[in-house]
Amino acid sequence: MTRHLKALIGPSILNADLSQLYEESQKLLDNGADYLHLDVMDGQFVPNLTFGHPVVKCLRGKIKDAFFETHMMVEKPEQWITPMADAGVNQYTFHIEPVKDVIEVCRKVREHGMKVGVAIKPGTPVSEVEKYISISDMVLIMTVEPGFGGQKFMENQMAKVQYLRENYPLLDIEVDGGVGPSTINCCANAGANMIVSGTAIIGSADQAATIKLLRSTVQDAINK
């Protein structure tokens, strides 16, 4: 069976009302989200602090079937593999920048039954992540500096996406940061198929319409 790329939209819940995390998450899924992108920050790799595995586990207790991706913006991603797997995470996406042995972290993530995502910040060359593609399920290209929501989209990062798509036609490539209706064409044409969008979806008056627009734009580019 030949594998085909698919457009997938994963709202970041970081910009939602976190006191209503379950309700906000369920609403996004009801409005057509393909997966939930959960931003985990440790106050070290990035200056901000969000939530950890206890919150994710509580969310999984109420939302049984959705695909959970944790974006680990942390100094020691190896530290959280077991608790995140226990919390019911489907994909563990971590930044390679602070990690000494990326291959070992990838191996442990897979051993714990999760998919492997590898992420790079805007200042990291694509060649640094390319060496791990064979042991990963997905590459995340950050289109803002990680750590805060609501930043301006960095269009110059599309060269990395384009390079990966040209050289790895069936690779899942995710973009995260400043992505919404005004920047989705840029992402889709470069070759991204997994779209993380926070502010643009959460703050939309019609979340379902926004998710549908993002997905159809990406799927149209894939189908070309």
- The pLDDT tens digits for 67-102 are 999 999 999 999 999 999 999 999 999 999 999 999
Look over the chain and give the mean of its residue pLDDT values, rounded to a whole number: 96
Q: Which of 219, 202, 211, 145 is nearest to 176 (CA)?
A: 145
- Span 98-110, mean pLDDT? 98
86 known member of a binding site: no
Tokens (6 digits) for 57: 């586990």
Helix (H, G, I), strand (E, B) or coil at 37: strand
95 known member of a binding site: no
The single-letter code of the amino acid at 211 is: I
198 known member of a binding site: yes
Tokens (6 digits) for 110: 């897979």
Continuous H helices in the chain: 21-30, 53-62, 81-86, 102-111, 126-130, 158-167, 184-190, 199-202, 207-223
pLDDT at 134 over 60: yes
pLDDT at 223 (0 to 100) = 95
pLDDT at 3 (0 to 100) = 67
d(CA 156, CA 122): 9
- Span 159-166, mean pLDDT? 98
The pLDDT tens digits for 25-83 are: 999 999 999 999 999 999 999 999 999 999 999 999 999 999 999 999 999 999 999 99
Domains and CATH numbers, the chain: 8-223 (3.20.20.70)
Q: Which of 219, 212, 209, 198 is nearest to 10 (CA)?
A: 198
Catalytic residues: 39, 176
pLDDT at 1 (0 to 100) = 45
pTM: 0.96
* DSSP-assigned letter for residue 49: B
Residue that wins the pLDDT comparison between 134 and 1: 134
